Chains A and B, each alone.
Chain A
Amino acid sequence: MSLEAMYQQVIMDHAREGHGRGLVEIDLPHRGESHQVNTTCGDEVTLRVGVDGDTLARIAWEGQGCSISQASISVLSELLEGESLETADETFEAFRALMQSKGEHLDEEREDMLGDATAFVGVGKYPARIKCALLGWVALRDALIQARGASSAGAEGGTA
């Protein structure tokens, strides 16, 4: 695999743009916040969600890290804000499967669901970088658990 295949243009663009960046207050009754750290490099993200009924209505985050981690958070923000909680859960599982696929593409249905996030397929070839790509997704899952009123245990200081 070439380096360009891993750092696809869509990843570079998202890393620069940082969709959803800015830790704004979310004014919705069901909120969740998660802080995740990649212990190997100290990269971190704080991600907030706001849930309205069955909809993941708002995502806001602040973080610093490598282009893979930052682009991944940007992609998930753009992809999932305004989607149903069910779609968010399914997309999370699809992304995790993509990371475990060792660089192989997934089936069409899941790739459609992942949209721009399929660009991260190359990351699965580099075990050391999977944590980078998953950092924001793990924060999202954790924040959603809180927003749904489940236990907030593990919300702080967890690792991706």
Chain B
Amino acid sequence: MSPDLRDDFPLLARTVRNGRSLVYLDSGATAQKPLAVLEAEAAFYRERNGAVARGAHLLAEEATEAFESARADVAALIGAAADEVVWTSGATAAINLVANGMLQASLGAGGAEAERFRVGPGDRIVVTELEHHANLIPWQQLAARTGAELAWIPVDDDGVLRYDEVDSVITPETRVVAFTHASNVTGVVTDVEAIVRRAREVGAITVLDGCQSVPHLPVDVAELGVDLMAFSGHKMLGPTGIGALWGRKDLLDALPPSMFGGSAIRVVTMETTTWLEAPQRFEPGTQPVAQAVGMAAAARYLMDVGMDEVARHEAHLAQLLREGVAALPGVRLLGPVGGSGALDVLGLAAVVVDGVHAHDVGQILDDRGIAARVGHHCAQPLHRRLGVTGSTRASAHLYTTEDDVRAFLEALAGVREFFGVTV
């Protein structure tokens, strides 16, 4: 990765506690933004702000054009068509849109074409044991409200999905399989094909959580073969408050909306409403237009660098980081070391220091100017399965350097001594 790429990210130049240079290793939580994103958003407000898809004046036209071309840019990043991308406030909202749409269908909405979204007693909803809460709770709640059964593909003692259990967990009764493309804790990239193959066999819809993959790996939805995918803007160098749901057009057109209001409709009477096709049927109310424009700028930035190049850079950091952590005495890496060249593990490492709580580890790092994540990273069940309540996670992005990783490893090496923990 070109070193002057860091100049594109103004925040990386700031100092933090004790006047130290920032070592930003929390990109898995939220990524820093390049100037291209900041400027695209500001330029929209300065020059083109207007009501989208309403009104006939020039600004309304230009704002609509900006909003829809942003959709096309984000679609291009994942190899999709523009009308298969629904704007949401983030990945959480995208997953909820699907789960709540299925709840609406289960309540009878959507007519015959929504049949495949209906779940009830006797049906099964499948997730995995390593899901982020955002891809667990919506399904858990859908099951609780419809009487469907929630089941999950377990992980082994190393936090790796048990692919040998896929066929038995995804039963013929399974209607939907929701799973992450890459764990935000272990960093391991999922063998999507192995799950999609079985889901197709039983006719289940597949929903992929692309939060950790889209910002870091080349992602092509057609190649992956999933039906729907959620991802967020802020983790892929874009603004907060924006994300997207990608879905096969025929599915999106049949999924009942679950949020209602202006702009998403065809005809409204006092008693009834008919909906527009996707994506507009899912976008009632005023949309986060400037944020969409910013997310598109982020997509273009990533495509300009090249996702293969991003993945190569992060594979290198993953190896440095994970092998470095694994070599430290008294420090446990959650998940396998991995990283055998091909990026089957993201550039992140969640670690547990023997005898020292994650918050205390984070405090030592913070003192050195290192921003890392502490806690359960919204994956309590996985942490519980691995026998810990929390961990400290360092996560990289395309702007992360080898020096950043070395600073983390060096600080980590001194933690046990500071807290007087001896072997």
Contact = CB atoms under 8 A, between A and B. Distances in A.
Contacts of B420: 12
A42 B375 contact: yes
A12 B389 CA distance: 21
B375 A66 contact: no
Given A41-B375, A41-B389, A67 B360 contact: yes
Contact of B419 (A12, A65, A126): A12
Task: Give the size range of A's interface with the partner.
Answer: 10 to 19
Contacts of B390: 41-42
A107 B389 CA distance: 38
Contacts of A132: 359
Given A43-B389, A132-B359, A67 B375 contact: no
Contacts of A65: 357, 359
A143 interface: no
A40 interface: yes
Interface of A: 2-3, 6-7, 12, 40-43, 64-68, 126, 128-129, 132
A126 B366 CA distance: 10
A41 B374 contact: yes
A68 B360 contact: yes
* Listed residue (A3, A40, A132) with the most chain B CB atoms within 10 angstroms of its CB: A3
B375 to A, nearest CB: 4
Given A3-B418, A12-B419, A64-B389, A41 B360 contact: no
Given A41-B389, A129-B363, A67 B376 contact: no
A42 B357 contact: no
Nearest to A64: B389
List 4 tightest A-B contacts by C-beta distance, closest first: A66-B357, A66-B359, A41-B375, A3-B367
A129 B380 CA distance: 20
Interface string B350-381: 00000011111001101100000011100010
B357 A6 contact: no
B364 to A, nearest CB: 7
A132 B375 CA distance: 12
B360 A66 contact: yes
Contacts of B367: 2-3
A129 B359 contact: yes
Contacts of B419: 7, 12, 67
Contacts of B366: 126
Given A41-B359, A42-B375, A66-B359, A3 B389 contact: no
Contacts of A66: 357-360
A3 B364 contact: yes
Given A41-B375, A42-B376, A67 B357 contact: yes
A64 B359 CA distance: 12
A116 to B, nearest CB: 18
A142 B357 CA distance: 25
Contacts of B374: 41
Given A41-B375, A66-B358, 12 more contacts: A3-B367, A7-B360, A41-B376, A41-B389, A42-B390, A43-B357, A65-B359, A66-B357, A66-B360, A67-B356, A67-B419, A129-B359
A5 to B, nearest CB: 11
A12 B356 CA distance: 11
Contacts of B389: 41-43, 64
A6 B375 contact: no
Contacts of A68: 359-360
A75 B383 CA distance: 29
A42 B380 contact: yes
A41 B363 contact: no
Contacts of A64: 389
A41 to B, nearest CB: 4
Contacts of B359: 41, 43, 65-66, 68, 128-129, 132
A132 B418 CA distance: 19
* Listed residue (B363, B366, B374) with the most chain A CB atoms within 10 angstroms of its CB: B363
A41 B358 contact: yes
Interface string B276-292: 00000000000000000
